[in-house]
Amino acid sequence: MKPFAKVFTLKRWELISELKKFGAVSIYELAKRLDRHYRNVHQDVALLSEWLVIEKDEHGKVFVPWDEIDVRLPLPVAA
């Protein structure tokens, strides 16, 4: 799996936030609303789905099922 910072880029945080506002939409519609290329949005949705941030409904529309995302990042232990 990719490290947190490589997954949760500013563009992907924007995608998550906007998708939460829009509700369930197709990836094509999401790309249009974000004014981004379909291919890039599709890749971002696939990656965020792997991290369980985005889900698909029975019609294939994507949505964010969460009201908030809590993140825990362990700090390195001193030697």
In angstroms, the CA 69 to CA 16 distance is 10
At 74, list the tokens: 């362990």
Angstrom distances, CA of residue 24 to CA of 6, 21, 56, 60, 72 = 25, 9, 8, 9, 27
Q: Which of 6-10, 17-21, 43-47 has the weakest average pLDDT?
A: 6-10
Please name the fold of domain 4-63.
Arc Repressor Mutant, subunit A (1.10.10)
Q: Over range 40-66, report the average pLDDT.
A: 96
> Would you place residue 6 in the very low, low, confident or very high pLDDT band (cuts 50, 70, 90)?
confident
Average model confidence (pLDDT) for the chain?
Answer: 91
The residue extents of the domains of the chain are 4-63
Q: Which residue has the higher pLDDT, 76 or 27?
A: 27
pLDDT tens digit sequence for 20-36: 999 999 999 999 999 99
CB 25 within 8 A of CB 62: yes
Q: What is the pLDDT of residue 13?
A: 94
Taking alpha carbons only, the member of 30, 14, 31 closest to residue 63 is 30
